[in-house]
Amino acid sequence: MADLRARLNAAEARAAEAESRAETAAADLAQAKAEAASTEAMIAHLKLEIEKMRRALYGQRSERKERLLEQMELDLEDLQATATEDDLAAEAAAPTTTVQSFTRRKPSRKPFPEHLPRERIVIPAPETCECCGSDHIAKLGESVTETLEVIPRQWKVIQTVREKYTCRCCSHITQPPAPFHPVPRAWAGPSLLAMILFEKYGAHQPLNRQSERYAREGVDLSLSTLADQVGACTHALKPLHDLIAAHVMAGERLHGDDTVVPVLAKGKTAKGRAWVYVRDDAPFGGPDAPAALFQYSRDRGQDHPVKHLEAWAGLLQADAYAGYNRLYDPGRAPGPVLSALCWAHSRRKFFELADIEATRRRGSRAPPLSPLALEAVRRIDALFDIEREINGQSAARRLEVRQARSRPLVEDLEAWMCEQRASLSGRSDLGKAMDYMLTRWEAFTRFLEDGRICLTNNAAERALRGLALGRKSWLFAGSDRGAARAAAMYTLIVTAKLNDIDPQAWLADVLARIADMPQSRLHELLPWTWKAARMAQGSLAA
């Protein structure tokens, strides 16, 4: 018996030793990654400084050189934010007893301008000694933490004062604990951080343009300083992003779409893709809140949507992209995905052949209008008229109306297209538009069997609209990590918009509370829960 106990003790010791080695190896790997990211950011910073010095010495040689400097600044922005993310991850992975986490040299920050007003917030000191309970305490001094905060178009520095007191009886020194910051070692307040994030990802203003505007307002914040905060905020908001992603993937019906995201490569830009999956049950009166999940990939390979939805099954409303086809396999685990195609997408193909205004603008060289295309648009529009009437009603009611009114129109449309298609050339644009629908008729008509399905995929297209417009401003992402970081922030901002709340106000409150929010209560910061709490507070105040 003693021998068995000894062997068990030895096995437990070996297991503890192996676990300790694994933790140390993970910490070493995180530190190495942080060191590499920091080195890469430093190299990019030095290259940018060298190019600026060359331009100062020899003058601006060409417009291409100016564009190169802008590209290098955007690249540095992504590398700086990536380095901060990896640094925080290394700190979290480092065992405090055995491994010292890697500490990256942070970009130097100038003192806050003296002309900014100071607002003192004094944390109340205890009235009695926390050691012996005596009320004979005397103030020794105070610790002041300055945080840069912003009120729209007004800057100020908040001084958080923590007074020190000593007990006259036992000489014990008492001081309130330091307040939580939105991100580790933060110097910026939550409202300022929220403004930086929203302007970059919501208003599509790159950090170099923000830095220039802040300088004009009298506050000198360098590109590296701003990028450092973006990376730290992305790291801090990741748990909230994961909750939104889980909420989206818990939906039984999703809208899916993708768009191009140019990504900076060596001497050129690569065509990356931003994918979005939207959960929106409002059209059939569902109780669950809407949300959007963005994903990034380097290309439009068919493996990406399969990987994004590998653990999901249900109804997918998307276009006819072949990359989704593997999801529709009946034997797929955890279950097959049912396709519901977009009628607005198919209607667009006919409308382009029957657009009177576009034909008039083209003049005599425009192709003649197609009466058949015009008839197809008219028939499809009749279905949309019915959908507008039942939008927001229950799934059962929508299905009842569709069976009674929409099904006869759909059957007539199919018979009409089959009849007209027989007389058209295989290469004609109108014939291709009809084939697009007829060869996928089951997916197009699935809405007649399920009241939850929408007639269009507009929910996903609306979610991508801001990104498509923003491309004209930021032109390209600086790196793959930068594009992935943008996808995470778009998830938060677009989800806030879907819930009809101000993304910047929500981010400011989230950043102010998330640092000291227990994991079990993190759901209180989700946009729809946050909105409900604010509305309840407003009704109580009224």
Sheet of 291-297, strands arranged across: 291-297, 268-279, 253-265, 315-318, 338-341
pLDDT of 246 higher than 60 = yes
Q: How does pLDDT run across 457-467, given as a tens digit for each residue? A: 999 999 998 88
Sort 376 into a burial class: Cβ within 10 Å, 0-12 / 13-18 / 19+. Answer: buried
**CA 265, CA 71: separation in Å to the nearest integer?**
10
Instruction: State the distance between the two ends of the chain, measured CA to CA, in whole angstroms.
Output: 73
pLDDT at 479: 79
**What are the DSSP calls for 51-68, one per residue?**
HHHHHHHH----HHHHHH
Quick one: average pLDDT of 297-317?
Answer: 93
pLDDT at 542: 47
pLDDT at 67: 53
| pLDDT band (50, 70, 90) for residue 508 | very high
**CA 434, CA 430: separation in Å to the nearest integer?**
6
pLDDT at 96: 53
Paired with 340 in beta bridges are 317
Rama region for 133: left / alpha / beta (φ>0; ψ in -120 to 50; rest): left
**CA 65, CA 55: separation in Å to the nearest integer?**
9
State what percent of residues in the chain have pLDDT above 90. 46
Sort 343 into a burial class: Cβ within 10 Å, 0-12 / 13-18 / 19+. Answer: buried
**CA 35, CA 507: separation in Å to the nearest integer?**
30
Q: Give the residue with greater pLDDT, 400 vs 482.
A: 400
Output phi, psi for 60, to 5 deg.
Answer: -75, 115
Could you tell me the two tokens for 227? 């990028």
Q: How does pLDDT run across 222-235, given as a tens digit for each residue? A: 988 898 899 899 99
Establish how many alpha carbons lie within 13 A of residue 282's alpha carbon, considering only the half-sphere containing its beta carbon: 9
Long-range pairs of 92-101 with CB within 8 A, sequence gap ≥ 24: 92/30, 93/26, 93/27, 93/29, 93/30, 93/31, 94/27, 94/30, 94/31, 95/20, 95/23, 95/24, 95/27, 98/20, 98/23, 98/24, 99/24, 99/27, 99/28, 99/31, 101/27, 101/30, 101/31
Sort 392 into a burial class: Cβ within 10 Å, 0-12 / 13-18 / 19+. Answer: exposed
pLDDT at 267: 65
Paired with 200 in beta bridges are none
**CA 482, CA 381: separation in Å to the nearest integer?**
42
**Helix, strand, coil content of the chain in percent (nearest 5):** 55, 15, 30
Contact 443, 250 (CB under 8 A): no
pLDDT at 102: 46
pLDDT at 475: 64
Q: Give the residue with greater pLDDT, 385 vs 185.
A: 385
When computed from its CA atoms, the radius of gyration of the chain, rounded to whole angstroms, is: 30
**What are the DSSP calls for 483-508, one per residue?**
HHHHHHHHHHHHHHHHTTS-HHHHHH
Q: Give the residue with greater pLDDT, 405 vs 81.
A: 405
Contact 506, 237 (CB under 8 A): no
Quick one: average pLDDT of 508-533?
Answer: 93
> With helix as H, strand as E and coil as C, how does 275-291 read?
EEEEECCHHHCCCCCCE
| pLDDT band (50, 70, 90) for residue 455 | very high
Q: How does pLDDT run across 26-76, given as a tens digit for each residue? A: 777 777 777 777 777 777 666 666 666 656 554 544 444 555 556 666 666
| pLDDT band (50, 70, 90) for residue 241 | very high
pLDDT of 472 higher than 90 = no
Other Cβ atoms less than 10 A from the Cβ of 383: the count is 18
Q: How does pLDDT run across 81-120, given as a tens digit for each residue? A: 777 777 777 777 766 544 444 455 555 667 888 888 999 9
Alpha-carbon 176 to chain mean position: 36
- H helices, E strands: number in the chain: 17, 9
Q: How does pLDDT run across 128-186, given as a tens digit for each residue? A: 888 888 888 888 888 888 888 887 678 999 898 999 999 999 989 999 988 778 887 77
Helices (H), 250-394: 303-308, 343-351, 356-362, 371-390
Domains of the chain by residue range: 14-93, 110-186, 252-465
Other Cβ atoms less than 10 A from the Cβ of 398: the count is 26
Output phi, psi for 264, to 5 deg.
Answer: -65, 125
pLDDT at 140: 85
| pLDDT band (50, 70, 90) for residue 446 | very high
Quick one: average pLDDT of 480-498?
Answer: 92
Q: How does pLDDT run across 252-277, given as a tens digit for each residue? A: 999 999 998 888 766 677 788 999 99
- Return mean pLDDT, the chain: 84
> With helix as H, strand as E and coil as C, how does 432-482 read?
HHHHHHHCCHHHHCHHHCCCCCCCCCHHHHHHHHHHHHHHHHHCCECCHHH
User: Measuring CA to CA, which residue among 236, 202, 196, 200 is closest to residue 219?
Assistant: 196
User: pTM of the entire structure?
Assistant: 0.77
How many residues make up the chain in this entry? Answer: 542
